[in-house]
Amino acid sequence: MKLSKKDILGMKELSRDEVTLILDTAESFLEVSMRKIKKVPTLRGKTVINFFVEASTRTRTSFEIAGKRLSADTVNISASTSSLVKGETLTDTAKTLEAMNPDIIVIRHGAAGAPHMLARMIKQSVINAGDGAHEHPTQALLDMLTIRQEKGVIGGLTIAIIGDIAHSRVARSNIIGLTMMGARVTVCGPAMMIPRDIEKLGVHVSHHMEEAVSDADIIMMLRIQLERQNESFFPSDREYSRYYCLDRATIERAKPDVLVMHPGPINRGIEISPEIADGTQSLILKQVTNGVAVRMALLYLLAGGEE
């Protein structure tokens, strides 16, 4: 099967059936990463450029590993080692990369909409690996795969997303994806970190962590996006963690089988205590493992699905 679209720009552009196809395909690729020889010839002869203008550990590494495990040729470009530092524009960089005829360009950029602009300019497929505070669709897809594996379903579950909702592209993509798949989503955080009118996305809003976790099947914690804040939204880390850190006392207010997620990187002791991050209810490293499979699925469905 092949996705009937050129690009993966956001959860907003995906249908329920397309999400299910991506998750099913990712499920089938999980096994490749468990083999002694972790490589299949599926994308031999294809070229994937990972163009990361913003810092990343998980997304960039997993896209590179995903491409290599599918036998694609992968090339990594970061802002600091590209001609962006010499003043080249994104448009000129895009046209330059297009002229080398890759098959897929994966882009992370600090500006919301940069992947959409790139997708309009070039003929190759573009995957959004995170654009500003806008969307991070591949993170939401790997989160959904993890939830489906652990709970068997997504529809009907209650998911509490807690923290800096306003500046989080992970929150936005998950809200769109999870509500589309039939989950109930509660967002929780200080008033300054919850966008006005967020209820229009079909979520319930709470400012009290104990209330938000009380009926949750999954608690998804978020990092405070200091790099996207140009003013202080809370007096101190200590003050924030007093009300919004997931620790043993808070998790005891939740269902006994509640599971904990975090997209990473985590700020230990600020939004999540080390005991919970490393505990038996934590899915954080499973999310990382699933990230490779989801990215393999996307590269395959965009570049090689028919072959």
Shortest Å, Cβ 62 to ligand CP: 8
Of 49 and 254, which CB lies nearer to ligand CP in the complex structure? 49
Shortest Å, Cβ 261 to ligand CP: 11
User: At 170, is the secondary structure helix, strand, or coil?
Assistant: helix
- Of 171, 234, 165, 228, residue with least CA distance to 194: 165
- Of 39, 99, 46, 97, residue with least CA distance to 73: 46
Other beta carbons within 10 Å of 107: 27
Stretch that binds ligand CP, among 81-89, 90-98, 213-221, 261-269 (CB under 6 A): 261-269
Of 254 and 284, which CB lies nearer to ligand CP in the complex structure? 284
* Cα(27)–Cα(22) distance, integer angstroms: 9
Of 59 and 282, which CB lies nearer to ligand CP in the complex structure? 59
- Strands 104-109 and 158-162 turn out to be unpaired
**225 contacts ligand CP (rule: CB under 6 A):** no
The residues facing 159 across adjacent strands are: 185, 218
Stretch that binds ligand CP, among 21-29, 56-64, 96-104, 150-158 (CB under 6 A): 56-64
Shortest Å, Cβ 146 to ligand CP: 12
* Cα(194)–Cα(190) distance, integer angstroms: 7
**267 contacts ligand CP (rule: CB under 6 A):** no
**58 contacts ligand CP (rule: CB under 6 A):** yes
Residues 59-98 binding ligand CP (CB under 6 A) are 59
**167 contacts ligand CP (rule: CB under 6 A):** no
Residue tagged 């989160």 (tokens): 143
Question: How many helices, marked H, and strands, marked E, lie in the chain?
Answer: 11, 9
Stretch that binds ligand CP, among 77-85, 90-98, 117-125, 259-267 (CB under 6 A): 259-267
- Name the DSSP class of 3: -
Residues near ligand CP (CB under 6 A) are 56-59, 130, 139, 263-265
